[in-house]
Amino acid sequence: METSASKRESAFFFECPLPLRDYPTVTLGHGSGGRLSADLVEHLFLPAFDNAALRARGDGAVISIADMRLAISTDSFVVRPLFFPGGNIGELAVNGTVNDLAMCGAVPLHLSASFILEEGFELAQLNAIAHAMGEAAARAGVSIVTGDTKVVEKGHGDGVFINTTGIGVIPAGVHLAAERVRTGDVVLLSGTIGDHGMAIMSVREGLAFEAPIQSDTAPLHTLVQALLHLNAEAVHLMRDPTRGGVAAALNEIAQQARVGIVLDERAIPVRPAVSAACEMLGLDPLYVANEGKLIAIVAREHAEAMLAALRAHPLGEAAAIIGEVTDQHPGLVAMRTRIGATRVVPMPQGELLPRIC
């Protein structure tokens, strides 16, 4: 016992708080968007890169240059399979970064695209992916202005990995931040949950439904603009619930804003096919990734108007008020269940759905 403990100690030439010491090597859970991902950011990357923009830990960073506020966001995409019902890795890579910029309140403008290709990958597939990216960029009103391509030997990559990084401008009057969230605020969700994750999982697991589950991948910038145009001041924070699902996104908000959140299970929209697939695989839709949904924390007095604005948008037809911010249990997310009980919705710990984006 003692030998193995001291051996593990010596492998760690860095000082780290307890959470990381439990894992001397990278696990799939470190890419989950849940607790282990957060540990990696908090205990490894933040100390190494320390600066104020990074510490704010939004979906992107907000920086000021001259008198402009810009949002910058980056994401690498490793989804498997590359093509899935409702989309492909290229479309996902564009929409994902567009959405992270939109969650900062920014109007997305420009993207970079960087490819890590595996030797032997078909150029025809790469071309299809590149065209899907071009089309997604056109739909989102952004241009892909610069790029890079690297190739690794067969067996050292996996077909194609794509990084997109984007910048956008945050209009005056828009200020989304965890510290703006307050007791009594309302939690809006723009539509059904779990569609993206279960589209991927049903392909991987060979689940057959009458109509296949489609990914919800979509650019959310116009949905965001609809809310901000209504009343920018009343929108306090936005997140898109991707990896780790609604549960991870709301736990992050609760922790960063130091508030409690209470959800109403009956109010959370889930498609029957997604619900069925989740049941078959033993998954909770609250933890399943979305790629075309947003959560907005808004001032109570404007919540109904905001809900109406979401529902008037093609991407927000199934929008709902799913909960509220409370001064009880700060840092925790709770849920009133269908049967009237209340349970905690914890931050996801491990990794149930690897390589979902």
The interface region with its own copies, picked from 10-18, 291-299, 304-312, 330-338 by CB under 8 A, is 10-18
Classify residue 302 as exposed, middle or buried by CB count within 10 Å of its CB (0-12, 13-18, 19+): middle
Site for its own copies in 296-355 (CB under 8 A): 351, 354-355
Counting residues that bind its own copies (by CB under 8 A) gives 87
| Among residues 6, 7, 81, 127, the one that binds its own copies under rule CB under 8 A | 127
Note whether 5 binds its own copies by CB under 8 A: no
**Cβ closest to its own copies, residue 44 vs residue 281:** 44
Note whether 203 binds its own copies by CB under 8 A: no
Note whether 287 binds its own copies by CB under 8 A: no
Q: How many CB atoms sit inside 10 A of residue 182's CB?
A: 14
Q: How many CB atoms sit inside 10 A of residue 206's CB?
A: 6
Nearest-approach distance from CB 87 to its own copies, in angstroms: 16
**Cβ closest to its own copies, residue 151 vs residue 299:** 151
Site for its own copies in 65-124 (CB under 8 A): 65-66, 68, 70, 72-78, 109-110, 112-124
**Cβ closest to its own copies, residue 68 vs residue 308:** 68
Beta strand pairing call for 342-344 and 333-336: antiparallel
Q: How far apart are CA 203 and CA 194, in angstroms?
A: 14
Helix axis angle, 89-103 to 221-231, nearest 10°: 20
| Among residues 6, 7, 17, 27, the one that binds its own copies under rule CB under 8 A | 27
Site for its own copies in 155-194 (CB under 8 A): 155-158, 161, 163, 165, 167, 169
The interface region with its own copies, picked from 125-133, 224-232, 293-301, 317-325 by CB under 8 A, is 125-133
254 forms beta bridges with none
Residue 54 identity:
L
Nearest-approach distance from CB 62 to its own copies, in angstroms: 9
The interface region with its own copies, picked from 136-144, 201-209, 223-231, 318-326 by CB under 8 A, is 136-144
Classify residue 342 as exposed, middle or buried by CB count within 10 Å of its CB (0-12, 13-18, 19+): exposed
| Among residues 98, 137, 178, 263, the one that binds its own copies under rule CB under 8 A | 137
| Among residues 152, 172, 280, 344, the one that binds its own copies under rule CB under 8 A | 152
Of 241, 149, 140, nearest in space to 195 by CA: 241
| Among residues 50, 211, 338, 341, the one that binds its own copies under rule CB under 8 A | 50
- Contact status, residue 142 vs residue 101, Cβ threshold 8 Å: no
**Cβ closest to its own copies, residue 187 vs residue 200:** 200
Secondary structure (3-state) at 217: coil
Q: How far is CA 127 from the centre of its chain?
A: 26
**Cβ closest to its own copies, residue 112 vs residue 231:** 112
Structure tokens at 172: 């005056």
| Among residues 7, 17, 26, 266, the one that binds its own copies under rule CB under 8 A | 26
Nearest-approach distance from CB 39 to its own copies, in angstroms: 10
| Among residues 93, 103, 106, 144, the one that binds its own copies under rule CB under 8 A | 144
Cα torsion at 187, 191, 196, 197 (round to 10°)? 50
Beta strand pairing call for 83-84 and 87-88: antiparallel
Output the DSSP codes for 43-67.
IIIHHHH--HHHHT--SSEEEEETT
Which ranges of 236-356 does DSSP label H, i.e. alpha helix? 245-257, 272-281, 303-311
Q: How far apart are CA 237 and CA 176, in angstroms?
A: 5
| Among residues 53, 230, 232, 305, the one that binds its own copies under rule CB under 8 A | 53
